[in-house]
Amino acid sequence: MQAYDYIRDGAAIYERSFATIRAEADLSGFSAEQAQIVVRIIHACGMVDVAQSVMMTEDFVSSARKSLKKSCAVLCDSEMVAHGITRARLPANNAVVCTLRDARTPDLARQIGNTRSAAALDLWGEKLAGAVVAIGNAPTALFHLLELLDAGAPKPAAVIGLPVGFVGAAESKEALAKRHDIPWLVVQGRLGGSAMAAAAVNALASEVE
Amino acid sequence: MQAYDYIRDGAAIYERSFATIRAEADLSGFSAEQAQIVVRIIHACGMVDVAQSVMMTEDFVSSARKSLKKSCAVLCDSEMVAHGITRARLPANNAVVCTLRDARTPDLARQIGNTRSAAALDLWGEKLAGAVVAIGNAPTALFHLLELLDAGAPKPAAVIGLPVGFVGAAESKEALAKRHDIPWLVVQGRLGGSAMAAAAVNALASEVE
């Protein structure tokens, strides 16, 4: 049963992974606490070059961490993001919320003429106040979040803007990165995804690497 | 509420995404049915160049599809993979199984001196026979699957080998790609992840693009 030679110890695997990432990635543009987030995003996708495309506001990490410690909710656009978050790392038993499969979402989508991923955000309501928002799948969800904020929705503590793909992903992240009213993080362009978004939450949740 | 100009119709977004992928990606090395899988993997990660790193056996798509239609189980190494699979696309109400959070897994991991991700596979047992296996996270899970097969475990119908990262991912996929006893798909190197693995299952599940 030991014909394959590989590291079988989880902690050793993490340690060697993060050492490799820090040896190969150019993290010079980031503060120490920002670099923690970038390292985990790289870990989730296997690409050290993604560091070049990560942008975040100066207050992103501090605002998100402060709010997480005060037991804010983590609001996710997809079940994959929600299930990628390591509950044990969250500092205050924070609620992890995804309303995509809420029974009301399909009707809401028809009413507002948008995708279910976007309509699901209409169910976040007051939970948005001070929340950490993690968008890892749908550009329409990120666009709709910006629409809700423009319409007076409560402000989240931080927005992880990581929708992925070929239609609207780059554009929705560009729109987020123009905002000065909320702390945000984006990966520019087409790259993103639920694994990166969950990794960003996990990195914010604890300073333990 | 319409300050942002973007496509709000889910079907139109899919259609334009797949058209962009087919216009930009080099799919010339793949059969028509293989290309369906590659297109969805690209869709999940936002990178058309990943096509260059996808390898699969000639019988991978046909073996997986045949078994899915016969209601085989889909066995996943992580909750993220399991939650990325679109149940409605599966042809025979197939069970989607992830045993990572089974109460027995931590003890098993200690007993076999491996990660929980690897140990979870020891609970698959006879379910492995004819299953579609989707490894989207842990290299140790893929290595351990190969160890189980060498020890005489029942053969799956197809193995999606897409662990991601810096320690063991490339090596475990190389080991899988040397096998002649099971149909497999890999993305060579460090790239992979739960979104790509779920996308591969979703592509196999239905020929509808």
Within 8 A of B172 by CB-CB distance, chain A residues are 4, 6
Q: Is residue A28 part of a domain?
A: no
Q: What is the mean pLDDT of residues B20-41?
A: 98
Q: Is residue B60 part of a domain?
A: yes
Q: Is residue B96 part of a domain?
A: yes
Q: Is any Cβ of chain B less than 8 angstroms from the Cβ of A190?
A: yes
Q: What is the mean pLDDT of residues B50-55?
A: 98
Mean confidence (pLDDT) of chain B: 97
The kind and range of the H/E element at B201 are helix B194-205
Q: What is the mean pLDDT of residues B138-145?
A: 98
Q: Is residue A16 part of a domain?
A: no
Instruction: Give me the amino acid identity at B121.
Output: L
Residue A2: the pLDDT is 55
Residue A1: the pLDDT is 46
Of A53, A76, A74, A52, the closest CA to residue A65 belongs to A74
Q: Give helix B32-45 / helix B194-205 axis angle, nearest 10°.
A: 140
Output the CA torsion sign for B125, B136, B21, B174.
negative
Are A76 and A127 a contacting pair, CB within 8 Å? no
Q: Is A43 a catalytic residue?
A: yes
Instruction: Give me the amino acid identity at A208.
Output: V
Residue B14: the pLDDT is 95
Query: Total domain count for chain B?
Result: 1
Are A27 and A33 a contacting pair, CB within 8 Å? no
Distance from CA of B34 to the nearest CA of A (A): 20
Of B132, B136, B67, the closest CA to residue B100 belongs to B136
User: Are the beta carbons of B191 and A83 separated by less than 8 Å?
Assistant: no
Within 8 A of B9 by CB-CB distance, chain A residues are 115
Residues of the domain holding B93: 52-205
Residue B209: the pLDDT is 82
Q: Is residue B175 part of a domain?
A: yes
Three-state DSSP class for residue B160:
strand
pLDDT in tens, chain A (209 residues): 458 999 999 999 999 999 999 999 999 999 999 999 999 999 999 999 999 999 999 999 999 999 999 999 999 999 999 999 999 999 999 999 999 999 999 999 999 999 999 999 999 999 999 999 999 999 999 999 999 999 999 999 999 999 999 999 999 999 999 999 999 999 999 999 999 999 999 999 999 88
Distance from CA of A2 to the nearest CA of B (A): 7
Output helix, strand, coil percentages for chain A, rounded to the nearest 5.
50, 10, 40
Q: Is residue A35 part of a domain?
A: no
Sheet strands (E) in A14-122: 54-56, 74-76, 96-97
Within 8 A of B87 by CB-CB distance, chain A residues are none
User: Are the beta carbons of A168 and B115 separated by less than 8 Å?
Assistant: no
Q: What is the mean pLDDT of residues B60-82?
A: 98
Report the C-alpha gap between A173 and A186 in whole angstroms.
6
- CATH number of the domain where residue A110 is located: 3.40.50.10230
User: Are the beta carbons of A165 and B46 separated by less than 8 Å?
Assistant: yes
What lies within 8 Å, CB to CB, of A151 at 6+ separation is B1
DSSP designation for B30: S
A–B CB contacts, 8 A cutoff, strictly below: 147
Residue B123: the pLDDT is 98
Q: Is residue A137 part of a domain?
A: yes
Within 8 A of A118 by CB-CB distance, chain B residues are 8
Q: Is residue A18 part of a domain?
A: no
**B2 has a pLDDT exceeding 60:** no
